[in-house]
Structure 1
Amino acid sequence: MQTVNIHNAKTNLSRLVDRAAQGEPFIIAKAGKPLVKVVPIDQPAATQMKRLGFMAGQFSVPDDFDRMGDDEIEQLFGMNK
């Protein structure tokens, strides 16, 4: 993968972006230190994985979840029915 310094990236941004859009990602560095990686939007990162959650499928949400504790909350704020 090509690494370009920030000055060179500013000077040649259109050309670099066109190449990245064609599948040639590049890294922009400042003083030799990598700062950002430019990749096409539709190309997911190699390490990116979709995760459903560590407890996916292990519990269910009750139908009245959004109303749970209503009575206690009303008592705390003095809004008894």
Structure 2
Amino acid sequence: MPEVGAYDAKTHLPKLLERTQKGERFVITKHGRPVAELVPVTRADPESVRRTIADIRSFRETLRKRGVKIRGLLKKGESLRELAHQGHRY
């Protein structure tokens, strides 16, 4: 992936966006260190989304049949939100 300095990226952003739109990817650096990536937006394939949702529902049903309940996975005083965000960095 080609590297572009932050100043050059700012100066040539319209050209970089055109190239990115065509599928190219760039690493933007600041003082020679990578700080960001400029990548094309990917659109979700509706059929892929449907398959994923079906897989999740199937997995939930498997857990239900095994008697696994979400509340049983929570530690004392822990919320479902905290469990879902476990390991996230903000």
Given the two structures, how large is their TM-score scaled by the length of structure 2?
0.50
Tell me how far apart the structure 2 counterparts of residues 6 and 27 of structure 1 sit (CA, whole Å): 9
Q: Which runs of 5+ in 1 are unaligned?
A: 45-49, 62-81
Q: Which structure shows the bigger proportion of residues in helix conformation?
A: 2
The residue that corresponds to 1:41 in the other structure is 41
Aligned pair count reads 53
- Kindly report structure 1 stretches of 4+ aligned residues shifted beyond 6 Å: none
2:21 is equivalent to residue 32 of structure 1: no
Alignment of 1:1-81 (within 5 A): 1-42=1-42, 56-57=59-60, 58-60=62-64
Alpha-carbon distance in 2 for matches of 1:32, 1:43: 31
Identify which of structures 1 and 2 has the higher relative contact order when contacts are C-alpha pairs closer than 8 Å and 6+ apart.
1
Shift of 1:60: 2.1
Backbone CA RMSD of aligned residues: 2.5
Max Rg structure: 1
Q: What TM-score, normalized by structure 1, do the two folds share?
A: 0.55
Distance in 2 of aligned mates of 1:24 and 1:59: 42
- Percent of aligned pairs sharing the same letter: 32
Gaps of 5+ in 2: 45-51, 66-90
